[in-house]
Chains A and B, each alone.
Chain A
Amino acid sequence: MKAHYPPAALHNVTVKATAFQKARWTAEAKKRGMSGPGPFLALCADLVLAATDAILRAHEEHDNAAKGARHE
């Protein structure tokens, strides 16, 4: 198992990319001291999901606050 994956990373996902995408991701991985484009993609996926979750939570809190204000 390459570095920068969690020890329990047993699932494999095949990713197809253009030569440009792969070169770009490999360069980005290198800048972060990662072993290749795979760990970089895993990091990006987790960051995108974390950002999406944060946005949805903020929306929910905003909606709840607005509902509370209407009931008062």
Chain B
Amino acid sequence: MSSRLKVASFTVHADARQSARWKQASEGEGFSSVGSWLSRAADAYLKVRAKAGLPIPLAWSKGVFSVQLMDGEEIRVSGMVSPPFAYFRGTSHGTDRNKGRSLVHLASGRIIATLRRSAQARALASELAPALLRGELPDPAVLVERSARDSS
């Protein structure tokens, strides 16, 4: 049985100059269509941005997620989410509307840092995102395990 990769199609509009340049570039680089060259160009651009280590602006939305507290208890909190990060009002002791914002790694529920303002939590996530894309951050699950082992 053959499994075909599911693809989505959409249209990119271009003026005459763009169209001519893209066509020239795609032919020059041996692509079968301008569309496939555009796709490669977008991925190449994002890769370069990630490598450059520039803070990546993240899009945030409201959501509910799990957080692991200092005492090992896992609670569900509502806050702002931009995978792989989220933040909520509170600290590693629990939710608290008056005690800053805690940035969380969604996959592990681990609190990365507690900061005074939402903007600071967002800025830290933006700075961590390029390193995460490059695979330079240690696996947070390992850190959580190690921290739990050390404290027992």
Q: Which residues of A contact B (CB under 8 A)?
A: 1-2, 5-6, 8-19, 21-22, 24-25, 27-28, 30-31, 36-42, 44-49, 52
Contacts of A48 in B (CB 8 A): 41, 44-45
Please pick, from B10, B19, B35, B43, the residue contacting A37 in the complex, using a CB distance under 8 A.
B10
Secondary structure of the A side of the interface? helix
Residue B15 lies at the interface, judged by CB distance under 8 Å to chain A: yes
A15 in contact with B59 given A28-B46, A44-B45 (CB within 8 Å) = no
A21 / chain B contacts, CB cutoff of 8 Å: 39, 42-43
Listed by A's residue number, 25 A-B pairs whose Cβ atoms lie within 8 Å are: A6-B18, A9-B13, A9-B14, A11-B13, A13-B13, A14-B9, A14-B11, A14-B35, A15-B38, A16-B8, A18-B7, A18-B8, A19-B8, A21-B39, A21-B43, A27-B59, A31-B58, A38-B12, A41-B41, A41-B42, A42-B13, A44-B42, A45-B25, A45-B38, A48-B45
Q: Is B34 on the interface with A (CB-CB < 8 A)?
A: yes
Which A residues lie within 8 Å of B9 (CB)? 14-17
How many positions in chain B have a CB within 8 Å of any CB in the partner chain?
Answer: 32
- Whether B13 contacts A12 by the Cβ 8 Å rule is yes
Contact residues in A for B46 (Cβ distance below 8 Å): 24, 28, 44
Among B7, B14, B25, which residue has the most Cβ atoms of chain A within 10 A? Answer: B14
